[in-house]
Structure 1
Amino acid sequence: MLTLQSVSRHFGGLQVLQDVSFEVPTGGIFGLIGPNGAGKTTVVNLVTGLLPPSSGDILFNGASLVGRPPHQITAGGIARTFQNIRVFKEMTLLENVIVGMHGRLPYGPAGWLLRLPSYRAAERAARDRARELLSWMKLDHKADDIADNLSYGEQRKLELARALATEPRLLLLDEPVAGMNGAEKTELMAEIRNIQARGYTIFMIEHDMRFVMGLCDQIAVLNFGRIIAQGGPDAVRTDPQVIEAYLGRDDEEMPA
Structure 2
Amino acid sequence: MLQLKNISKNFGGLQVLQDVNFNVPQGGIFGLIGPNGAGKTTVFNLITGLLRASGGAIEFDGADIGKVAPHKITERGIARTFQNIRVFKEMTLLENVVVGMHDHMHYGFGSLLFNLGGFRRIEAQARERALELLSWVRLDHKAGMLADSLSYGEQRKLEFARALATKPKLLLLDEPVAGMNPAEKTELMTEILNIKQRGFSIFMIEHDMRFVMGLCDRIAVLNFGRIIAEGSPDQIKNNQEVIEAYLGKEDAE
TM-score by length of 2: 0.98
Distance 2:237 2:206 in 1: 15
Aligned-partner residue type, residue 156 of structure 1: R
Output the aligned Cα RMSD.
1.2
Distance 2:155 2:31 in 1: 22
Q: Deviations for 1:39-82, whole angstroms, at most 9, x for unmatched residues?
A: 00000000000000000000001100011000000011000000
2:106 matched to which residue of 1?
106
**For 2:103, what is the secondary structure of its paired residue?**
coil
**Which segments of 5 or more consecutive residues in structure 1 lack a partner in the other structure?**
none
- For residue 246 of structure 1, report the CA deviation from its aligned partner: 1.7
Aligned-partner residue type, residue 159 of structure 1: E
Distance 2:172 2:103 in 1: 18
Q: Which runs of 4+ in 1 moved over 3 A?
A: 247-252
Distance 2:248 2:169 in 1: 36
2:116 matched to which residue of 1?
116
Q: Deviations for 1:104-129, whole angstroms, at most 9, x for unmatched residues?
A: 10213222112121111110110000
Equivalent residue pairs, number:
252
**Does the 8 Å CA contact 2:27/2:202 hold for their aligned counterparts?**
yes
**Which segments of 5 or more consecutive residues in structure 2 lack a partner in the other structure?**
none
Query: Which sits farther off after the overlay, 239-248 or 194-203?
Result: 239-248
- For residue 102 of structure 1, report the CA deviation from its aligned partner: 0.7
Q: Deviations for 1:176-228, whole angstroms, at most 9, x for unmatched residues?
A: 00011101100110100010011100000000000000000000000000000
- For residue 247 of structure 1, report the CA deviation from its aligned partner: 4.3
Distance 2:78 2:149 in 1: 29
- For residue 2 of structure 1, report the CA deviation from its aligned partner: 0.4
Report % sequence identity: 71
Distance 2:232 2:187 in 1: 23
TM-score by length of 1: 0.97
- The reply on whether 1:79 has 2:79 as its aligned counterpart is yes
Aligned-partner residue type, residue 176 of structure 1: P
Distance 1:251 1:39 in 2: 22
Distance 2:243 2:203 in 1: 22
Distance 1:126 1:186 in 2: 30
